A and B are shown apart, each in its own frame.
Chain A
Amino acid sequence: MQAATDAKPQTAAAEAPPPDRLLAVAGGFEVESEVHASVLAERPVLEVDRFNLWYADKQALHRITMPIPQGKVTALVGPSGCGKSTLLRSVNRLNDLVQNVRITGDMRLNGDSIYDPRMDVIDLRKRMGMVFQKPNPFPMSIYENVVYALRIDGEGNRGVLDEVCEISLRGAALWDEVKDRLQDSAIGLSGGQQQRLCIARAIAAEPEVLLLDEPCSALDPIATGKVEDLIQELRGRYSVLMVTHNMQQASRTSDYTAFMYLGRLIEYGATTDIFTKPVLRETEAYVTGRFG
Chain B
Amino acid sequence: MTRHIERQIDGLKERILRVGTLVEEAISKAITALINRDVPLAQRVMTNDEEIDRMEVEVEEECLKILALYQPVAADLRFVVAVLKINNDLERMGDLAKNIAKRVAQLKGQEIELPPEIRSMAMQAQEMVKQCLDAVVRGDPVLARQVREEDDGVDDGRQRIQRRVMAGIKADPDNAEGLLRINSVSKHIERIADMATNIAEDVIYMVEGDIVRHRSEAI
Which of B15-23, B48-56, B72-80, B156-164 has 4 or more CB atoms under 8 Å from chain A? B72-80
Q: Do A288 and B76 touch across chains, with their CB atoms under 8 A apart?
A: yes
B11 beta carbon closer than 8 Å to chain A: no
Q: Do B74 and A278 touch across chains, with their CB atoms under 8 A apart?
A: yes
Which of A251, A277, A283, A289 contacts B3, CB < 8 Å? A289
Q: Do A277 and B73 touch across chains, with their CB atoms under 8 A apart?
A: no
A248 beta carbon closer than 8 Å to chain B: yes
Shortest C-beta distance, A250 to chain B (Å), equals 10
B71 beta carbon closer than 8 Å to chain A: yes
**A residues in contact with B74, CB < 8 Å:** 274-278, 283-284, 287-288
Closest to B5 in A: A289
B1 beta carbon closer than 8 Å to chain A: yes
Main secondary structure of the interface of A (DSSP, over half): helix
**B residues in contact with A287, CB < 8 Å:** 73-74
Which of A276, A291, A292 contacts B73, CB < 8 Å? A276
Q: For chain B, residues 166 to 219, give those with C-beta under 8 angstroms from any C-beta of chain A.
A: 208-210
Q: Do B5 and A276 touch across chains, with their CB atoms under 8 A apart?
A: no
A277→B6 CA distance, assembly (Å): 18
**A residues in contact with B3, CB < 8 Å:** 289-290
Q: Do A284 and B1 touch across chains, with their CB atoms under 8 A apart?
A: no
A149 beta carbon closer than 8 Å to chain B: no
A202-228 Cβ-contact flags toward B at 8 Å (1 or 0): 000000000000000000000000000
Closest to A247 in B: B73
Q: Do A276 and B1 touch across chains, with their CB atoms under 8 A apart?
A: no
Q: For chain B, residues 128 to 149, give those with C-beta under 8 angstroms from any C-beta of chain A.
A: none
Which of A251, A277, A292 contacts B78, CB < 8 Å? A277
**B residues in contact with A291, CB < 8 Å:** 1
Q: Do B78 and A288 touch across chains, with their CB atoms under 8 A apart?
A: no
A291→B75 CA distance, assembly (Å): 14
**B residues in contact with A283, CB < 8 Å:** 74
- In the complex with contacts A289-B1, A289-B5, A276-B76 CB distance below 8 A: no
Shortest C-beta distance, B207 to chain A (Å), equals 10
**B residues in contact with A276, CB < 8 Å:** 73-74, 77-78, 209
**B residues in contact with A251, CB < 8 Å:** 73
A275→B81 CA distance, assembly (Å): 14
**A residues in contact with B77, CB < 8 Å:** 275-276
Q: Do B71 and A288 touch across chains, with their CB atoms under 8 A apart?
A: no
**A residues in contact with B78, CB < 8 Å:** 276-277
The 8 A-B pairs with the shortest beta carbon distances in the complex, nearest first, are A277-B209, A275-B73, A284-B74, A289-B1, A288-B76, A287-B74, A288-B74, A287-B73
Given contacts A277-B74, A277-B208, A288-B72, 18 further A-B contacts (CB under 8 A): A247-B73, A248-B71, A251-B73, A275-B73, A275-B74, A275-B77, A276-B73, A276-B74, A276-B77, A276-B78, A277-B78, A283-B74, A284-B74, A287-B74, A288-B73, A289-B1, A290-B3, A291-B1
A-B contact pairs, 7 of them (CB 8 A): A276-B77, A276-B209, A277-B78, A277-B210, A287-B73, A288-B74, A292-B1
